[in-house]
C-alpha cells in the first residue's frame, strides 16, 4: 500500500474542499466499494471532490507525485475502472447536480450523477435523453462509452445527444468542448471512454418523453424460444423506430404476473418499450404476443422513471459479475442455436443473456461521426454472468468465455466498450474500429503520458 507522509497528506487536504481518505480512515472501505464485487482494489487516496477545483487539485497531485490515477463517476463499470491499487481516485460521486432548462430542452449534469438523478429532474418537465437501463448507472461512464438504452432507437445514443462538456485534461486545465470548441476532443469523448480527462459537467439535448410511456414484459417458455426468436428477428426488419423490443434468456424471476410454478424456469423474456401512447403501439405489441404461447404478459402505461428502475432488483451492487459481449448486424439461425445452447446451461440463477436491439435512429450517424463507430450493430449481446460465492468464479467465468468463443463466428467483430471486462485489454481496438487511429492521435495531444490509463485504454500514438 502506497501511503503519504503526514505533511503530504495535509498538503493535499488543504487544497481541496471535499474529503480525502486514506486506508484505515472512517469511510474508506465504503468509498472503495463499487458495483462489481469482483473488484477489490485499495487506492492510496480517495479524493471525494466537491467541485472542479478539487478535481484539478487532485489530478495535479497525482501527476506531480506519479501516482496511478482512476476516476469514479457511478462506480458501475464492469472492469472496475473507478479504482486503482496504490494510486489516487478522483471520486465524483458527490457531484450530482442536474439542472434543466425546459424551454431550451437542455440539461447540465455533473460527473457523479446517476441515471436516477438525471431522470428525476428531467421528468419533472416531461423530458428525457437516451440513457441506460439501470438507474444506479453513472451518466458519465455511460455517455462516454456511447450509451444506449430504451430510447436509442427513437432518439439515438447518449453520445449523439451530448451538446458540450467541461473537461479537466491531464495538465489540470479546464476546457469547454463542443462542436465549435475543441471539436477533436469533443468528437473523442463521444464514445472514447475516460481516456481524455475528467468530465465535470455534461450538456445534453432533451426531448419530450413521458411522464407516462408504454412498457412491459412478455414471457415465453424456453421450449418455444427458437421459434419466438426467429419471428422476433424477422419482425425487427419492419419494426417502427418508436418501438424497442429486447430479448432476455434467463431463469424466470418471481414476477407477480407469472404463476408460481413458472418461477425459476428457463424462459425467454421480451421487454417492450415505446415512448408513444399505448394506442400507437398496442397492435404491434399484440402481434409480438402471438409469437408463441405466453406464460405471462404485463404491458401497459407506466411512468418512465418506474420503467428506468424496473430492472434494478436484478442488478443490485454486491454480487460478482463477469461479462462478455458481441455485436451482431444480423441474427442468423446458427447464432440463435448457440444462444439457446448456452442459455440452457446457465451456471447460476442470476445469469442471463440479453440481446439489446439498436438500429433505427442509433444507426443514422456515420461510423466516424463520433468516436463510437458501431452504427451497423443491430443487436448488442451481453453475456451477463452473475453469482455470489467466490468459489464459483472459475466455473462461471469459463461458461461465459466458452459462450463468447462459440458465438464469435456469427458476430460482426465489434464490441461495446462499456461491456468489456478487465481482462479484455486486447479488444480495445475492436471497440473503435477505423476510429482508433484518430483517437490515438487525439490522446497524444491531450494525454501524451497516458495519465488516464485505468480504463479500456487507448494508448497515445507514438510521436
User: In this structure, is residue 460 part of a structural domain?
Assistant: no
Helices and strands in the chain, H and E counts: 14, 19
**Beta-strand relationship, 207-208 and 266-274:** unpaired
Share the mean pLDDT of the chain: 96
Which of 179, 209, 239 represents a domain boundary (last residue)? 209
C-alpha cell at 196: 481524455
Assess whether 186 and 294 both reside in one domain.
no
User: In this structure, is residue 245 part of a structural domain?
Assistant: yes
**Cα 158 to Cα 19: distance, rounded to the nearest angstrom:** 31
C-alpha cell at 171: 495538465
DSSP conformation class of 252: P
Residue 41, domain CATH: 3.30.43.10
Give me the pLDDT at residue 91, please: 98
**For the chain, what's the residue count?**
463
Predicted confidence (pLDDT) per residue in 22-43, tens digit: 998 999 999 999 999 999 999 9
Assess whether 278 and 347 both reside in one domain.
yes
**Cα 223 to Cα 225: distance, rounded to the nearest angstrom:** 6
Is the previous residue joined to 192 through a cis bond, with omega within 30 degrees of 0?
no
Assess whether 115 and 167 both reside in one domain.
yes
Q: Which residues of 154-178 are buried (b: 16+ CB within 10 A; e: fewer)?
A: bbbbbbbbbebbbbbbbebebbebe
Assess whether 251 and 374 both reside in one domain.
yes
User: In this structure, is residue 447 part of a structural domain?
Assistant: no
Q: Which helix (H) or strand (E) holds 14?
A: helix 6-15
Assess whether 265 and 398 both reside in one domain.
yes
| Secondary structure in 3-state letters for 66-79 | CCCEEEECCCCCCC
Predicted confidence (pLDDT) per residue in 137-196, tens digit: 999 999 999 999 999 999 999 999 999 999 999 999 999 999 999 999 999 999 999 999
Assess whether 345 and 380 both reside in one domain.
yes
Quickly state the pLDDT bin for 1 (edges 50, 70, 90). very low
Predicted confidence (pLDDT) per residue in 387-409, tens digit: 999 999 999 999 999 999 999 99
**Cα 114 to Cα 321: distance, rounded to the nearest angstrom:** 20
Q: Which of 251, 242, 347, 222 is nearest to 285 (CA)?
A: 242
Assess whether 87 and 125 both reside in one domain.
no
User: In this structure, is residue 459 part of a structural domain?
Assistant: no
Cβ–Cβ under 8 Å, residues 88 and 44: yes
**Cα 450 to Cα 458: distance, rounded to the nearest angstrom:** 8
**Cα 220 to Cα 223: distance, rounded to the nearest angstrom:** 8
Quickly state the pLDDT bin for 5 (edges 50, 70, 90). low
User: In this structure, is residue 366 part of a structural domain?
Assistant: yes
Assess whether 197 and 57 both reside in one domain.
no
**Residue 116's beta-bridge partner residues?**
none
Residue 323, domain CATH: 3.40.462.20
What percent of the chain has pLDDT above 90?
A: 95
Predicted confidence (pLDDT) per residue in 409-436, tens digit: 999 999 999 999 999 999 999 999 999 9
C-alpha cell at 283: 397492435
Around Cβ 329, how many Cβ atoms within 10 Å?
Answer: 16
Q: Which of 270, 378, 407, 391 is nearest to 320 (CA)?
A: 391
Residue 280 pLDDT exceeds 80: no
Which of 209, 243, 275 represents a domain boundary (last residue)? 209
C-alpha cell at 26: 472512517
Assess whether 201 and 217 both reside in one domain.
no
Cβ–Cβ under 8 Å, residues 427 and 415: yes
DSSP-H helix ranges across 170-277: 183-189, 225-236
Assess whether 277 and 134 both reside in one domain.
no
Predicted confidence (pLDDT) per residue in 104-147, tens digit: 999 999 999 999 999 999 999 999 999 999 999 999 999 999 99
Around Cβ 366, how many Cβ atoms within 10 Å?
Answer: 8
Residue 339 pLDDT exceeds 60: yes
Give me the pLDDT at residue 200, please: 98
**Residue 382's beta-bridge partner residues?**
325, 354
Taking CA 209 as the corner, what is the angle to CA 207 and CA 215, rounded to the nearest 5 degrees? 145
Residue 6 pLDDT exceeds 90: no
What percent of the chain has pLDDT above 70?
A: 98
| Number of structural domains found in the chain | 3
Quickly state the pLDDT bin for 7 (edges 50, 70, 90). low
Give me the pLDDT at residue 9, please: 76
Q: Which helix (H) or strand (E) holds 285?
A: helix 278-289
Predicted confidence (pLDDT) per residue in 217-259, tens digit: 999 999 999 999 999 999 999 999 999 999 999 999 999 999 9
Predicted confidence (pLDDT) per residue in 87-102, tens digit: 999 999 999 999 999 9
User: In this structure, is residue 461 part of a structural domain?
Assistant: no
For CA atoms 119, 123, 128, 134, give the dihedral sign.
Answer: positive
Q: Which residues of 84-118 are buried (b: 16+ CB within 10 A; e: fewer)?
A: beebbbbbbbebbebebeeeebbbbbbbbbbbbbb
Which of 209, 224, 240 represents a domain boundary (last residue)? 209
333-343 vs 225-236: helix crossing angle, rounded to 10: 140
Three-state DSSP at 323 gives strand
Residue 111, domain CATH: 3.30.465.10
Give me the pLDDT at residue 175, please: 98
Q: Which of 293, 402, 294 is nearest to 346 (CA)?
A: 402
Assess whether 163 and 20 both reside in one domain.
no
Q: Which helix (H) or strand (E) holds 401?
A: helix 393-407
DSSP-H helix ranges across 296-454: 304-308, 333-343, 393-407, 428-432, 436-446
CB neighbours of 287 closer than 8 A, spacing ≥ 6? 235
Assess whether 233 and 198 both reside in one domain.
no
Q: How far is CA 282 from the centre of its chain?
A: 29
User: In this structure, is residue 222 part of a structural domain?
Assistant: yes
User: In this structure, is residue 457 part of a structural domain?
Assistant: no
Give me the pLDDT at residue 4, please: 56
Q: How far is CA 261 from the centre of its chain?
A: 34
Write out the residue range of the structural domain in which residue 47 sits: 6-91
Residue 10 pLDDT exceeds 90: no
Amino acid at each position: 500500500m502506497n501511503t503519504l507522509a503526514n505533511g503530504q497528506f495535509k498538503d493535499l487536504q488543504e487544497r481541496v474542499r471535499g474529503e480525502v481518505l486514506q486506508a484505515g480512515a472512517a469511510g474508506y472501505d465504503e468509498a472503495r466499494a463499487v458495483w462489481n464485487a469482483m473488484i477489490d482494489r485499495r487506492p492510496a487516496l480517495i479524493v471525494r471532490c466537491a467541485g472542479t477545483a478539487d478535481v484539478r487539485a487532485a489530478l495535479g497531485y497525482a501527476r506531480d507525485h506519479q501516482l496511478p490515477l482512476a476516476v469514479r463517476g457511478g462506480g458501475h463499470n464492469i472492469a472496475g475502472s473507478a479504482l486503482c491499487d496504490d494510486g489516487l481516485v478522483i471520486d465524483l460521486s458527490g457531484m450530482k447536480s442536474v439542472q434543466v432548462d425546459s424551454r431550451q430542452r437542455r440539461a447540465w449534469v455533473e460527473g457523479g450523477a446517476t441515471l436516477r438523478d438525471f431522470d428525476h429532474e428531467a421528468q419533472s418537465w416531461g423530458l428525457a435523453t437516451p440513457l441506460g437501463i439501470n438507474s444506479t448507472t453513472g451518466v458519465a461512464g455511460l455517455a462516454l462509452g456511447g450509451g444506449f438504452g430504451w430510447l436509442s432507437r427513437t432518439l439515438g445514443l447518449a453520445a449523439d445527444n451530448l451538446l458540450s462538456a467541461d473537461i479537466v485534461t491531464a495538465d489540470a486545465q479546464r476546457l469547454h468542448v463542443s462542436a465549435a470548441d475543441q471539436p477533436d476532443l469533443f468528437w473523442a469523448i463521444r464514445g472514447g471512454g475516460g481516456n481524455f480527462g475528467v468530465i465535470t459537467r455534461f450538456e445534453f439535448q432533451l426531448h419530450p418523453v413521458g411522464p407516462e410511456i408504454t412498457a412491459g414484459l412478455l414471457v415465453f417458455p424456453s421450449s418455444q424460444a427458437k421459434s419466438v426468436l426467429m419471428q422476433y428477428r424477422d419482425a425487427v426488419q419492419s419494426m417502427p423506430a418508436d418501438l424497442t423490443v429486447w430479448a432476455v434468456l434467463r431463469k424466470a424471476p418471481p414476477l407477480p404476473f407469472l404463476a408460481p410454478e413458472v418461477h425459476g424456469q428457463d424462459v425467454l423474456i421480451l421487454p417492450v418499450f415505446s415512448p408513444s401512447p399505448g394506442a400507437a403501439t398496442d397492435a404491434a405489441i399484440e402481434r409480438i404476443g402471438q409469437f408463441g404461447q405466453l406464460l405471462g404478459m404485463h404491458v401497459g402505461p407506466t411512468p418512465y422513471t418506474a420503467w428506468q428502475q424496473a430492472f434494478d432488483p436484478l442488478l443490485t451492487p454486491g454480487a460478482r459479475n463477469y461479462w462478455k459481449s458481441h455485436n451482431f448486424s444480423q441474427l442468423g439461425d446458427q447464432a440463435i442455436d448457440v444462444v439457446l445452447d448456452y442459455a440452457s446451461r446457465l451456471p447460476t440463477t442470476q445469469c442471463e443473456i440479453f440481446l439489446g436491439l439498436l438500429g433505427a435512429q442509433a444507426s443514422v450517424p456515420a461510423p466516424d461521426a463520433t468516436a463510437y463507430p458501431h452504427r451497423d450493430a443491430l443487436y448488442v449481446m451481453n453475456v451477463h454472468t452473475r453469482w455470489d460465492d467466490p468459489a464459483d468464479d472459475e466455473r462461471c467465468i469459463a461458461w461465459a468465455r466458452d459462450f463468447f468463443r462459440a458465438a464469435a463466428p456469427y458476430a460482426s467483430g465489434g464490441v461495446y466498450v462499456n461491456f468489456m471486462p478487465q481482462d479484455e485489454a486486447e479488444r480495445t481496438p475492436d471497440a473503435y474500429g477505423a476510429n482508433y487511429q484518430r483517437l490515438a492521435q487525439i490522446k497524444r495531444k491531450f494525454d501524451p503520458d497516458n495519465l488516464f490509463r485505468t480504463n479500456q485504454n487507448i494508448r497515445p500514438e507514438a510521436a
